[in-house]
A and B are shown apart, each in its own frame.
Chain A
């Protein structure tokens, strides 16, 4: 079977801070509007106009997976996601404590941990983000795309004509 090696690529510069990603994430997964249920959250420094979306990085060596005492967290290579098996999960929240990105949440209404599952390959945050602050790209391409943007910046600062970037 073909494996999907795609990841979320977040470009905080482009984020307008509207939090539509939070809304559609919660509605898609739980059928509720409630940012506390969203797998993606936009962190804001309003006084400086800085908005940074934060989501699970689906780490290779995921701390949440390592810390889980019930072996409830595993890697799904087909979708390139770290997933929680709720039949095994004991709700100890060790994974919430250990995640370096705060990407593992705990929902105090259902009393369950939750995290990004990339919407099984069709991430709604990406679908709804018109400014493309979140994109769903091949893991290999992330660095290339970032190189392109950085190179274009270098080119611009050298006083030459601005280039078109992705």
Chain B
């Protein structure tokens, strides 16, 4: 049974390991994956704990459906207090790690303490071993994985690892598995590094019993058909996430030169179709790869086509890498994007944070706030491909003043750079924004401002808001499983009803993250993809647990509130520019200069935006300051948290 997968508590200081079952009543309240992780974090961390100290629990999990007969149950979730934001740390990645961990007997790991010397965990069929990692310390993310496979003499071992950036405590270091699957955000790699934990290796051959195998198999066929037939997923399967770049840059939604422009002009070289041609030339006609059990296959394979690293194999690049190494620094050249993508994969750093911070530094350099003296002579101007790639390496190894400062994260760096450097930093809660420019899309701006893990596009983004769906269709989507009586607007420029859409998406994404399935398999980029109404079937056939759509909605709302409770405990306040639900002033002051005729001149209306936040808080059951009302906690049955059931 998926339900008999266990939770393990591992203390790296003492070497103690304790294994417990996950009680059914806990499952029914928090399901698993990210939701249950939020419960564990709130229960196992103390207020104000040092994110890079031994007391910060690192939680690694799969969802309740991980490795069951449901489509793309490949996601691994990692949670801890973030060294980047000082608030909730949370990262989610595809690949093959979580299923292997489930076959090895575990759904959740809670790792505390700090090992004296570098170690890695080896989990096999219910047993957990702490092994010496001194020989693999210092290795890149892929070399680490191959070295572990070799040491264990088993090619089937799947590892979640950190690269040199995590070891060097770069606060936006990520965790990686496979070639390029990254738990990218909020610096979970630095948390691992602070524990002297180089990797978690899994190998499992334990059965997961499917509750109703015949029905599960048949429903999975229908589920997959629903997912792969979406136009957006057909495109993903051909071009990968770069397909988003094509459209977004075309209308002017890509921030360029940090935040000076909203479109990277003449960026034809990094257009998805061009990247696809490079993939085809270097890897042949069938160059798309998939995560576990997924038929969308959105991961492109490529070899670097030219330059000093010519012939090097990697995967991706995703939409984020196009922005990080193409648009934001204004270096729209395919080789630069592919090499930048490769470097962050190898070093184990969040491409988004790296690209955003370097572009911010470029603007500071342009404005004279940092000088070539600070950069050790590196000409950190926009459009300088070599400087950009050099900075990636410098940040990983913390070489030189500027790179070492950036490695501390944007807000601490702004305090060191001084002057008005903070004004140019495009961040929320200390985490950099994706390179998407939300000035023309209030709903997306609200999502970025209120996301629980700092600025983020994968927590509550109503991306389909840009499709101008008829209001009737919007009500069909956003009025289920809880009716919404207010107005919903087909206009992406509007502020009406957007707070509800963001609230709905927040619950929807929490739902998939609890199940452990991919966001491309729910209402994210396509309107016809499965959500609350479809999930009870896949849950019942696979686990035997019965839920109504409304019950799943309630669970999602509950888990989101747990994340909010954690953030409030760690200092979240509504309007704080460093720790609050607020955007950089440039969203409200600087109009879009490029893009489609309807986009130019657009910016966010602050008054309407603040009203949207009020509305969003109301939907969530928060007071005006963003704190949960007592009746909300009671309704969600979390008035007594932390309750220490696990």
Contact = CB atoms under 8 A, between A and B. Distances in A.
A–B direct touch in complex (beta carbons closer than 8 A): yes
Interface of A: 13-20, 23-24, 27-28, 30-37, 44, 46-49, 51, 108-109, 124, 127-128, 130-131
Given A18-B295, A27-B210, 18 more contacts: A14-B286, A15-B286, A17-B290, A18-B290, A19-B292, A20-B290, A23-B292, A23-B293, A27-B213, A28-B213, A31-B209, A32-B209, A32-B210, A33-B103, A33-B210, A47-B146, A109-B207, A124-B217
B543 to A, nearest CB: 11
A136 to B, nearest CB: 16
B289 A49 contact: yes
B309 to A, nearest CB: 15
B295 A130 contact: yes
A124 B145 CA distance: 32
Interface of B: 67-69, 96, 103, 142, 145-146, 155, 178-179, 205-210, 213, 216-217, 220-221, 224, 228, 283-295, 297, 301, 313, 315
Contact of A24 (B103, B142, B220, B285): B220
Nearest to A21: B293
Nearest to A109: B207
A39 to B, nearest CB: 15
B242 to A, nearest CB: 17
Contact of B208 (A33, A44, A49, A128): A33
Contacts of B146: 47
B221 A108 contact: no
Contact of A16 (B178, B216, B289): B289
Nearest to B156: A35
Given A18-B293, A34-B207, A109-B207, A27 B288 contact: no
A127 B221 CA distance: 9
Nearest to B295: A130
B295 A27 contact: no
A164 to B, nearest CB: 13
Contacts of A127: 221
A35 B103 contact: yes
A16 to B, nearest CB: 4
Contact of B289 (A17, A27, A33, A108): A17
A18 B292 contact: yes
Contacts of A27: 69, 210, 213, 216-217
B196 to A, nearest CB: 26
B161 to A, nearest CB: 13
B105 to A, nearest CB: 12
Nearest 6 pairs of A and B residues by beta carbon: A18-B290, A36-B205, A31-B213, A16-B290, A16-B297, A32-B207
A13 B288 CA distance: 10
Contacts of B224: 128, 130
Contacts of B285: 13
Contacts of A33: 67-69, 103, 207-208, 210
A130 B146 CA distance: 30
Contacts of B217: 24, 27-28, 124
Nearest to A133: B286
15 contacts: A17-B290, A18-B292, A18-B294, A23-B293, A31-B209, A32-B209, A32-B213, A33-B208, A34-B208, A37-B207, A47-B313, A48-B313, A49-B179, A130-B224, A131-B286
A46 B291 CA distance: 12
Contacts of B286: 13-16, 131
